[in-house]
């Protein structure tokens, strides 16, 4: 029996698609989360907002593929919302003392490394490399780790088992994040080497 080819999704120029609306709602959750966490310290409510934001990260991608409503805006908006959630959570958690500085530094350093690689690629006329499943999985795991860590702090009676779960997920996410970064750097080096070879060939010809 012949194997069915994997479905291909063509990104459209539409803006008001259901996945994009979900992503916009996710973005609105960022200031709400920071207010709950840093203002009145409603940690349980902040956990709920954070958990909903992490869950809808998967939902908008699933809906986009299921309804064949992948858009160019969505391809930019989804990772932007992910990074904004992670950045806001790291800032809020660090200010509140929920996570140590080394975790914040390790995650932010990874973003700085990728930002530099992206600038180098753009200077040579390349766009950003495609999102790798390791990075996407790392984001999903991290967005699951954060609510667990905060919930353990907010409800001391479950800290003995919820805390270790949250930190195990955080370590897992950190490893996936840096593994994905290594792959992106390898892709960047391959593109730059191919670019140099093409230019060298053009000079010889």
Residues 141-196: pLDDT tens digits? 998 999 999 999 999 999 999 999 999 999 999 999 999 999 999 999 988 888 78
Architecture of 18-198 per CATH? Up-down Bundle (1.20)
pLDDT means per 10 residues, the chain with 205 residues, are 45 70 86 94 92 78 68 73 88 93 93 91 82 85 92 93 96 95 91 80 61
The pTM (predicted TM-score) of the whole model is: 0.79
In terms of Cβ atoms closer than 10 Å to its own Cβ (0-12, 13-18, 19+), residue 184 is: buried
Q: 133-154 vs 159-204: helix axis angle to the nearest 10?
A: 160
pLDDT of residue 93: 94
pLDDT of residue 46: 93
pLDDT of residue 49: 92
SS (H, E, C) 104-161: HHHHHHHHHHHHHHHHHHHHCCCCCCCCCHHHHHHHHHHHHHHHHHHHHHHCHHHHHH
Compute the distance between CA of residue 130 and CA of residue 184 in angstroms, rounded to an integer.
9
pLDDT of residue 79: 78
Contact 181, 113 (CB under 8 A): yes
pLDDT of residue 56: 77
pLDDT of residue 47: 92
pLDDT of residue 6: 43
Compute the distance between CA of residue 87 and CA of residue 27 in angstroms, rounded to an integer.
12
């Amino acid at each position: 029996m012949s194997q069915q080819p994997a479905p291909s999704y063509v990104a459209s120029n539409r803006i008001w698609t259901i996945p994009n609306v979900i992503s916009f709602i996710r973005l609105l959750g960022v200031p709400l989360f920071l207010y709950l966490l840093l203002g009145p310290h409603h940690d349980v409510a902040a956990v709920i907002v954070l958990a909903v934001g992490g869950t809808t990260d998967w939902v908008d991608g699933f809906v986009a593929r299921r309804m064949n409503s992948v858009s160019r805006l969505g391809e930019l908006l989804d990772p932007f919302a992910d990074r904004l959630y992670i950045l806001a959570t790291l800032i809020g958690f660090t200010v509140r003392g929920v996570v140590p500085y080394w975790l914040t530094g390790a995650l932010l350093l990874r973003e700085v490394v990728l930002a530099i690689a992206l600038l180098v690629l753009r200077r040579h006329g390349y766009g950003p490399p495609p999102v790798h499943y390791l990075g996407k999985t790392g984001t999903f795991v991290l967005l699951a780790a954060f609510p667990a860590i905060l919930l353990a702090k907010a409800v001391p009676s479950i800290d003995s088992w919820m805390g270790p779960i949250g930190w195990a997920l955080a370590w897992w996410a950190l490893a996936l994040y840096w593994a994905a970064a290594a792959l992106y750097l390898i892709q960047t080096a391959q593109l730059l080497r191919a670019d140099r070879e093409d230019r060298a060939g053009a000079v010889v010809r």
